[in-house]
A and B are shown apart, each in its own frame.
Chain A
Amino acid sequence: MKLSSAECHTPAGPPRAFSPRTRLVAIVGPPNAGKSTLFNRLTGLHQKVANYPGVTVEHRMGRLKARYIDTGIVHHVELVDLPGIYSLNARSEDERVTRDVLAGLMPGVPRPDAVLLILDSTNLGRQLMLAAPVLATELPTMVLLNMSDDLARRGGVLNVPELSKKLGAPVALVTASTGKGFDEIYDFLNAQLAPPRPIQLPILQDVPKTRKWAAQMSLASGYVAPAPTKWTRRLDKIFLHPVAGPVIFLTVVLALFQSIFTLAKPLMDGIAALVSGSGDLLKAVLPESVFRDLLVEGVWGGVGTVITFLPQILLLFLFIGFLEDSGYLARAALIADRMATILIAPLMTCSARLPIYVLIIAAFIPDKHVIGPLLGMRAIAMLSLYILGFLAAVATARLLKSSILRSERTPFVLEMPPYRWPKPSQLAMRLIDRGKVFLHRAGTLILTVAVVLWILLHVPTHNGKAPEIEHSIAGQVGHFIEPAIKPIGLDWKFGIGLISSLAARETIVGTLGTIYGTEGKETNGKLQEAVRKDLSPAGAAALLIFFAFALQCMSTIAVVRRETGGWKWPAIQFSYMLVLAYVGAFAAYHVVTWLS
């Protein structure tokens, strides 16, 4: 059947926001086809991560490296890396986002001028199925057959011009990880764009027909599938072994949590020394003024303290990147199964939860050995928090029985990628990326909170002099809510911290940095020492529990709002979590007090 795209796909989107000489090009492909690798190689460091409004799906925008641009037709090319999808059926949020972007229906994103469809050439028969709906959008499309190194090594072959003729669109064999075959991509991006030549496409809803069509395409282009990988089967025998498998899994998770705290220590001490050194220097060289105090106490105390934790965040993402790129994470998800949704998913996505745990734990939990030097209190705290957060989410879903955790009902279907040796350049990209996000937040949100807080700590003035901290506006607010948090072992300073953490969870660390900086107790970057005077171990436990349960991040609230179509459920969920957090923290405080 001939399918004109207008029938079931939406027409062209809103008018272009870019100048005509700027092109927007979407990278589309199934999970693990190499989209991000391609994107990183094409854009280098000129990229930024963003969320579409109201959805948790992340996308990356980046500009094609300038040196590849031929001045002929195009001025520059903006690339967008979309989530991995198998079809455009809009079954999942990822598919919905991709479909909407390609149709030009995503608010704030103009319809792309062209598509780079990237497919794994080592399994072309199946991967080509996605070509049908993408070609049906009638956007100018280039089909990139990735992993050509793997294909060649394992003896697969393919006639590229023939496939191109069959698909009515340009096709290139590439290796995204090395840049092999990229010249053709640059040629495509720089030339006049033309929609694909109309071809006979299958009915998109009919999977067997689509699969048959894909088989015909690959057959007609002389595709010989490569030999299966031996290593993947061998390694699976170890990692999925009934006994060795779970043992390895637990070891990996514990080692991950433990090493985040131990390995990062020297680096953190170095940064702390830098922060406090430069703070002292500023204090010494700048003339005495309100501005100097704001800078040294507020900004250096707040933002500086948060920045100290950068090495831990980077280590965390380095480990996660290694696990993901090597293919082990999918096996870990299989072993943990039901826990996978929450125990593993935060490792896979860039969920805000994990870095926050790291930050809070490093700031408030003392660094003590529990089982020799191998397992410390912090790693154990991390693990407990993780499991608690998981249990809380499950309980919430049960209780609310709403569509909040819609994914809970869809079956567990997980593709196992082959094992691969992670590429250092890809890992480095991730780190730079995450580091940028972290520093960006420190430089915007946390900076703002630090400045506002510092001011609130210094008004109202008495005869031109700042009040005692206790009598400042911030101090009074803290004291006002102190009765509510006293039962969980926290004082008014933490009260201010908790209020500020409504903006973002990690703000509490910056806030306490500013408070102690203003008090003059804290030597910048050494928050832990300052905090320990005001926070008992039981209070620290309570604080962690509170954070594990309470304060959903803003994007979660936005998603719940969208899926339930109102503020009722997000409000209920928020209050429920808050109560749960308080009760949990109360219990933790008293249990730990009783124990010690």
Chain B
Amino acid sequence: MISKCKLSDLPAGAEAILEAIELPEEEARHLMILGFLPGHRIEVGLSAPGGDPRVYRVDGSEVALRRETAKHLETMPLVGRVLETE
């Protein structure tokens, strides 16, 4: 059973499809411009010590978000993908 999941809950190496950004329009638009587009794939990367903020690979670039932002991004994890970053 696959269920939706907050981006902030995904571990390093996981991949997911972004479903929705639950943030005010202006902030959501900025994130979309940086590559967080609904329907696009996100790969979870490394983080600062303590797991916050974390780097995400989106749309050909790497962008760091704080947990307080990432928790507003609904994703559908891609299961069965190898959890490998290299």
Contacts and interface: CB of A to CB of B under 8 A. Distances in A.
B60 interface: yes
A415 B63 contact: yes
A416 B64 contact: yes
A371 interface: no
A246 B33 contact: no
A532 interface: no
Contacts of A414: 53, 63-64
A91 B31 CA distance: 12
B49 A245 contact: yes
B29 interface: yes
Contact of B64 (A86, A123, A234, A334): A334
A392 interface: no
Nearest to A236: B46
A87 B33 CA distance: 8
A246 B32 contact: no
Contact of B30 (A86, A232, A330, A337): A86
A415 B85 CA distance: 18
B60 A89 contact: no
Contact of A125 (B34, B48, B55, B59): B59
A291 interface: no
A411 B66 contact: yes
Contacts of A232: 62
Contacts of A86: 30, 33-34
Nearest to A130: B33
A413 interface: yes
B69 A123 contact: no
Contacts of B31: 413
B58 to A, nearest CB: 9
* Interface range, A side: 35 or more
A416 B63 contact: yes
Contacts of B60: 122-123, 125-126, 225
Contacts of B29: 89, 91, 205, 207
A219 to B, nearest CB: 14
* Interface range, B side: 20 to 34
B3 interface: no
Contacts of B55: 236, 240, 334, 416
Given A412-B66, A413-B69, A240 B33 contact: no
A208 interface: yes
Interface string A410-439: 111111100000000000000000000000
A180 interface: no
A129 B61 contact: no
A233 B59 CA distance: 16
B30 to A, nearest CB: 6
B63 A242 contact: no
Contacts of A208: 32, 37-39
Given A126-B35, A207-B37, A208-B38, A413 B47 contact: no
Interface in A228-251: 232-234, 236-237, 240, 242-243, 245-246
Interface of B: 23, 26-27, 29-35, 37-39, 45-49, 52-53, 55, 59-66, 68-69, 85-86
Interface of A: 86-87, 89, 91, 122-123, 125-126, 129, 205, 207-208, 211, 225, 232-234, 236-237, 240, 242-243, 245-246, 330, 334-335, 337, 410-416
8 contacts: A91-B29, A208-B39, A236-B55, A237-B46, A337-B48, A411-B65, A411-B66, A413-B31
